Amino acid sequence: MHNRKSCISIQHVYKKFGKHEVLKDINLEIEEGEIFGLLGPSGAGKSTLVKELAGLDVPTSGENYIFDEKMPTLKLMQRIGYMAQADALYEELSANENLHFFASLYGLKGKKKKERIKKVMQLVDLSDHLNKLVSNYSGGMKRRLSLAIALLHEPEMLILDEPTVGIDPVLRKSIWDAFYDLNKKGTTIIVTTHVMDEAEKCDRLGLMRDGTLIAVGTPEALRKETNSESIEQAFLVYGGATS
């Protein structure tokens, strides 16, 4: 575990869509260098929360701070890599053209731009498909391309919304290896998932249900505290305790 300063601070965050309260008084500190997982069933509010962290939405009340800046702010665009749940790709362009477009948005130029494109495509195992149109990519390939784009500018913080959905177990492992490598170099990673074995790979987890953070801790602590053998079981205990 890392013992560093907080780089994300979520303070009394609420979010309403009409009358539907999707986030209810979320409070959370995430430390620099952590791999932090948000785990919860569909509709728990994970995507809504990470979208706010990425600066794409705002809370109804409460505040999100990243690197001591109140979100949303354009200032942090260079320092954050965000991978949305729905791929934001230009289908009618090739992967290479997509990468060039996003690299330019991040201010990458010339040799550096080419190097980064090569590197990120190797990382997601798509080097052989660089010139293919995205419309001819499979769902899993699109996910991997989205991940490559999020990594282009070597951000200090990665916010990943279900990054491995639709990706086979072998590639999933290699993608997680890449996360560990980046994390070792200091990248903070926030990842949403509902896959239990992915949850085990995180330094700490936040368990979410119905817009509430029902527990936060290391996978081990969450299991111990509930006398559970698995995170899944721990989740049920915490869930049951609050209902």
Ligand X SMILES: Nc1ncnc2c1ncn2[C@@H]1O[C@H](COP(=O)(O)OP(=O)(O)OP(=O)(O)O)[C@@H](O)[C@H]1O
Interface residues toward ligand X, by CB under 6 A: 17, 22, 40, 42-48, 85, 194
CA atoms within 13 A on the CB side of 154: 11
CB of 19 to ligand X, least distance (A): 10
> Token match 């209902």: residue?
243
From the CB of residue 212, how many other CB atoms can be counted at a distance below 10 Å? Answer: 18
Distance CA 73, CA 168 (A): 35
CB of 173 to ligand X, least distance (A): 22
User: Who contacts 180 (Cβ-Cβ below 8 Å, separation ≥6)?
Assistant: 35
> Token match 């201010």: residue?
107
CB of 166 to ligand X, least distance (A): 13
Q: Which is nearer to ligand X, 94 or 193 (CB)?
A: 193
Q: Which is nearer to ligand X, 145 or 207 (CB)?
A: 207
Q: Which is nearer to ligand X, 155 or 206 (CB)?
A: 206
CB of 146 to ligand X, least distance (A): 15
Pairing label, strands 20-31, 6-17: antiparallel
Q: Which is nearer to ligand X, 43 or 240 (CB)?
A: 43
- The conformation of residue 91, written as its DSSP 8-state character, comes to T
From the CB of residue 227, how many other CB atoms can be counted at a distance below 10 Å? Answer: 9
Question: What are the structure tokens assigned to 59, written together?
Answer: 């809370």
φ, ψ at 194 (rounded to 5°): -125, 20
CB of 236 to ligand X, least distance (A): 17
CB of 16 to ligand X, least distance (A): 9
Q: Which is nearer to ligand X, 43 or 186 (CB)?
A: 43
125: left (phi over 0), alpha (psi -120 to 50) or beta: left
